[in-house]
Amino acid sequence: MVPAHPFALDRPPASARSPRSRPLVLLVDDIEDCRDVYGQFLRFTGYEVVEATDGYEALATAVTLAPDVIVMDLWLPHLDGWESIRRLKASPATASIPILVLTGDAYAQARHDAEDAGCQAYLVKPCLPMAVAAEVGRLLVDVRAGAAPSEVSAPPERRSGIRRDSDTAGGLLAAVVEDVDRRYRDVSRQLGEMKKELRGVEGEKRMALLERLEKVRATEKALTRDIETLKALARSPDVKVTVPARRRSRKS
């Protein structure tokens, strides 16, 4: 039994929420790379995204911001996803918020327990970001059509026939490719500069260069996350990716 937390879900019910220009998604996962990949895709497809890293933070954020949809992992620190869902559904303040479970737990019992706790959809990681965006959109449509959270059925493990809008997918690809290219050029330039400057450098100047190296490594990590997003898109059967060949420069 998970111990009770002194936090109270006392925000006004969902019917009292203020209108938003973009739907707000609360993304709950303790793994940073998962938040980056799925959060980035949701933002590019038109959602506003806020993040939480454990169950208690998810409860607090849900009360404070009243998101339109919650995307939640199950194996969370401090307060797991099953108990977090139960508490969200037990409070009138958050009971109407649809919840999509996004987890690496493919066991039938885990899914059964999550559905019993009150989730409306269940996806198993690793899955494509567009599958997550599709389920978030489906939940929003169902709720806005008047379906109560308990009436929304959990989707099957794999859904066929889903086709994304080509403009949305193309826009995401263009933005990610542009960001990857910018980061790559920046990393290459900085590494070249540091390689020259580190030769024979000692003392404070060497320390300053090492600090710059740490910043370059951070950029490299961000670049790696973008590359993983591109890989996920390229593996999708619903998105056709055509990469043009590089043009050869003509010799004068």
- pLDDT over 90 for what percent of the chain? 35
When pLDDT is averaged across residues 46-68 and rounded to a whole number, the result is 95
Predicted local distance difference test score (pLDDT) of residue 219 = 72
CATH code, 14-151: 3.40.50.2300
Residues 15-35: pLDDT tens digits?
A: 434 467 889 999 999 998 889
When pLDDT is averaged across residues 106-135 and rounded to a whole number, the result is 91
Summarize the confidence of residues 166-189 as an average pLDDT.
Answer: 64
34's tokens: 């998962």
E strand or H helix at 176:
helix 166-197
Kindly report, residue by residue over 202-226, the tens digit of the pLDDT: 778 778 877 877 777 777 776 666 6
The residue type at 72: M
Q: What is the rounded average pLDDT of the residues 189-208?
A: 76
What are the boundaries of each domain within the chain? Answer: 14-151, 166-235
Q: What's the length of the chain?
A: 252
Distance in angstroms (rounded) separating the CA atoms of residues 165 and 155 = 21
More confident residue, 232 or 6: 232
User: What's the whole-number mean pLDDT along residues 67-83?
Assistant: 95
Q: How confident is the model at residue 75 (pLDDT cuts 50, 70, 90)?
A: very high
Q: Which of 86-95, 183-192, 239-248 has the lowest mean pLDDT?
A: 239-248
pLDDT of 21: 82
Cα dihedral 181→186→188→190 (10° resolution): -170
User: Nearest to residue 59, comparing CAs of 16, 4, 21, 103?
Assistant: 4
Q: Give the C-alpha separation, 103 to 29, whole Å.
A: 9
Cα separation of 76 and 67, whole Å? 19
